[in-house]
Amino acid sequence: MTTSDEANSKPRRLGRQRKRRVYPPCVACKTKASFAWTCRKCDFVMCQECMQDNLWGMTCNNITWTCPDCGWENNFGQR
Ligand SMILES: [Zn+2]
Ligand SMILES: [Zn+2]
């Protein structure tokens, strides 16, 4: 008789939660949003709301947005 069943009764580790991505506060409204657009080149951060407000000045094709800080073209598809 073996005691191999013991391997299956290992206690599961509790309290291990999935880490949510935390975005830095928006440069425009300073709020911490659950999602924000971030520049890939510098640390520019803009929340969805401010991006909508400033969309006219950030993008001309709705595919890429230009970082006002460093001028880097960021893709809307890349988060
Ligand atoms: Zn904002
Ligand atoms: Zn930038």
The answer to whether residue 5 scores a pLDDT higher than 90 is no
At 42, give phi and psi (nearest 5°).
-125, -170
pTM: 0.69
CA of 19 to the centre of ligand 2 (A): 26
- The per-residue b/e assignment along 33-48, b for 16 or more CB within 10 angstroms, e otherwise, is beebbbbeeeebbbbe
The answer to whether residue 51 scores a pLDDT higher than 90 is yes
For 56-77, write each residue's pLDDT tens digit.
Answer: 999 999 999 999 999 999 999 8
Q: Which ligand is nearest to the CA of 74?
A: 2
Measured at the alpha carbon of residue 13, what is the angle toward residues 11 and 18, in degrees to the nearest 5? Answer: 150
**74 by DSSP, 3-state: which?**
strand
Distance CA 41, CA 74 (A): 9
Number of alpha carbons in the 13 Å side-chain half-sphere of residue 35: 6
For 11-39, write each residue's pLDDT tens digit.
Answer: 666 666 666 778 999 999 999 999 999 99
- The pocket of ion ligand 2, defined by CB under 5 A, consists of 39, 41-42, 44, 67, 69-70, 72
Higher pLDDT, 34 or 1: 34
